[in-house]
Amino acid sequence: MIERLTLVVRVLGAIFFGFLGLRTGQALAEGDTGLVRLLFWVVTPVGFTLFGTLAAPFIITVPLQRLQEWSKSIPPLQLILGTFGLLAGFLLGALATPFLLTLPGVGGWVAPFVVSFLLGLIGVVVMVGREQEFADFLSRYLPGLAVASDGVSREIVVDTSAIIDGRIADVAMTGFLQGTLVVPRFILDELRHIADSPETLRRNRGRRGLDMLSRLQKEAPIPVRVAEEDFPDTHDADAKLIRLASKLKATILTNDFNLARIAELENVAVLNVNNLANAVKVVILPGEEMTVHIIQEGKEMGQGVGFLDDGTMVVVEGGRRYLNEQLDVIVTRVLQTVAGRMIFAQPKGTA
């Protein structure tokens, strides 16, 4: 692509400078005759043509490449708002030009340029300064075009584990997820293989994931799109997922602990469903009272074990004799472990 562009620029440079050399030679040869006239008519155009062929890529291509690299460092929303503000300022300057031309002397032709430049600069500053308001507007009224505060489109790449888990459908329905859910084609293929598995449990998990995706597409308030990008040189699905998220500057939604760690090492943002579930659990402090259903014995002598609605384990000292009963307890301590949160309590009457 770059070589083809360079060739086109060389041809255009040769034509432009060749024509410029021809006109220059004509001007220089005017009034001369003989060999001098022939030299001006031939040597000057040929020299200008060679100069245009060799110098055009450096005069045109290099500055354009620098401009392209600079533009990539500007967030898209800032670029759009800045361009709009600049055009609006120039338009106001054009409208004011007829009045400015009536100024006497040099001011009549200098003032329009100065006023247009100042209005364009003011337009850029004003529009870029309202970037966050425009980002909030797009997120609220055009979720399909949701844009983060840094101007980057909010896209969330979904992992197989999060799809099979199924909880993201409920989270999406609440409106907490903003942007676009991106489901890669290779993840869909992996999900289809799971749904076709001869193992009953694995097959049911795959089908649940497909049902969840169908529900998201039909009912979720945010758009869901299938990404066709693939990386044939990579066979591992997790590695493909990280490369895709990095390419799109997107976030990965998963509940795979290992994938989350690797993505963080690759500087890819991660939304972990399990971390979200732990974060929204009700805060319980020692001394609080609750009612728990004792369903099994604990590891220690006399202990009974129950579970809260969010899956938190409650270990009740002396609760074994209340097996299969509802029991009022008082929390004695709360322990946060790698596997989750554990609550230790004792029967209310013995506190």
Q: Is residue 81 part of a domain?
A: yes
Question: Do 86 and 25 fall within a single domain?
Answer: no
In terms of domains, do 275 and 293 share one? no
Domain boundary among the residues 231, 256, 279 is at 279
CATH of the domain at 330: 2.40.50
pLDDT at site 36: 62
Domains in the chain: how many in total?
4
* pLDDT of 149: 47
**Structural domain ending residue among the three candidates 255, 279, 303:** 279
Q: Is residue 250 domain-resident?
A: yes
Q: Is 316 part of a structural domain of the chain?
A: yes
The pLDDT, as a whole number, for residue 331 is 92
CA 164, CA 194: separation in Å to the nearest integer? 10
What is the mean pLDDT for each group of 10 consecutive residues in the chain (351 residues)? 69 80 73 64 77 78 74 73 86 86 74 85 84 68 51 75 85 80 89 88 88 86 84 85 86 87 87 78 84 89 87 88 90 78 84 55
Q: Supply the pLDDT for residue 152.
A: 47
What's the domain range around 325?
289-350
Neighbours of 305 (CB within 10 A): 19
**What is residue 281's predicted lDDT score, i.e. its pLDDT?**
73
151, part of any domain: no
Domain C-terminal end among 279, 304, 338: 279
Alpha helices per DSSP H over the chain: 2-29, 34-56, 62-72, 76-100, 107-129, 131-141, 160-165, 167-173, 185-195, 200-219, 237-248, 257-265, 273-279
Q: Shortest CA distance to 226 belongs to which of 244, 238, 239? A: 244
Distance from C-alpha of 320 to C-alpha of 110, rounded to nearest angstrom? 93
Asked if residue 227 lies in contact with residue 245, where contact means CB atoms within 8 angstroms, the answer is no
Answer yes or no: is 147 within a domain. no
- Assess whether 27 and 65 both reside in one domain: yes
Q: What is the pLDDT of residue 264?
A: 86
User: What is the distance, to the nearest Å, from the Cα of residue 1 to the centroid of all Cα atoms in its chain?
Assistant: 27
